[in-house]
Structure formats: structure tokens, C-alpha cells
Amino acid sequence: MVKTQETLRRALHERGLRMTPQRQLVLDAVRELEHATPEQICARVQVQAPAVNITTVYRTLDLLERLGVVRHTHLGHGAPNYSVREHQHVHLVCHDCGDVAEVPTELLDDLAGSLRDRFGFRLDATHVALSGACTACAAARRTEGRTLEEADS
């Protein structure tokens, strides 16, 4: 919390950059909203400071990300989703209803190990959401129409 803020201020200062109200507000919004799009973050910031432009939000998110304070995740089709860096988990996105579940990153530890050993690939478990069908939609699908592939057999 405060730690990140001081870390940010120091990191900015080291690079000759300043801690501004806008940057403060954007960081606060990211932390409070937990998962939010630039649009949502902007709306939140504008509650306190209506004059802040969405361009500034984009620029600030980009900066905060380069400083390692926030990260973004692609949850699916639309806009990316920002959260503070400490807030780590794997996202499960239902491609039918769009529901997003969060599960611990440890679930990917084995996979990360295989990818590293076999392909030299360092998995970043938090950056991308896993897609599939949630319990409800998987059940619904089983009782419904089938796809072309399935009908073909």
C-alpha cells in the first residue's frame, strides 16, 4: 500500500520524473478497483478530478507498468485489465457467459516447469486468462445444440 507508493515516488525520482496528483490517482484507482480497464480507471479518477483526461490515464498506466507497479492482463476480446503487481492469480474466463474466476497461480507451477525444461519458455502465469466453459455454461452446452464438428461424426 504505502510501500508501493513510496517505491513509485523513488522510482520516478531516480529517472527524473515527478509524482503528480494524476499518477497518484491512477495508482489508487487501479488498486481500489482490483481489475479494471483504462476506461473504468479513468471514470474512477474523474470522480475526484473530473478534468483528468483518458489520454493521461493511458500514459500513466503505461508508465506504471514499465516501472513494474501495475500489470495488465488480456481477459478476452475487449480492453485489457489492469491491477497492481502484487495482486496475482490466474484468470479463468468463460467464453460463453464472460464470467471471470480467479484461481491461485500455483496451479500452473507444474506446467511452467515443463515449459521451461522442454522449451526454455518462462511462463508468465498472470498475463493471460485461460479460456473455457464455466460450470453453468458447460452444463447448458451439453443439453443444447451441437457444433458442426460434433454433428459430422
CA 30, 35, 41, 44 torsion-angle sign: negative
User: Which does residue 71 bind out of a second copy, DNA, none, counting CB within 5 to 8 angstroms by kind?
Assistant: a second copy
> How many residues bind DNA, per CB under 7 A?
25
- DSSP letter string, 34-103: SSB-HHHHHHHHHHH-TT--HHHHHHHHHHHHHTTSEEEEB-SSSS-EEEETT---EEEEETTT--EEEE
Residue 117 binding a second copy, by CB under 8 A: no
User: Which does residue 43 bind out of a second copy, DNA, none, counting CB within 5 to 8 angstroms by kind?
Assistant: none
Selected from 12, 70, 90, 134, the binder of DNA by CB under 7 A is 12
- Phi, psi values for residue 14, rounded to 5°: -55, -30
- Provide the binding-site residues for a second copy, judged by CB under 8 A: 7-8, 11, 14, 65-69, 71-72, 74, 76-77, 80, 85, 92, 94-95, 101, 103, 107-108, 110-111, 114-115, 118-124, 127-135, 138, 147-153
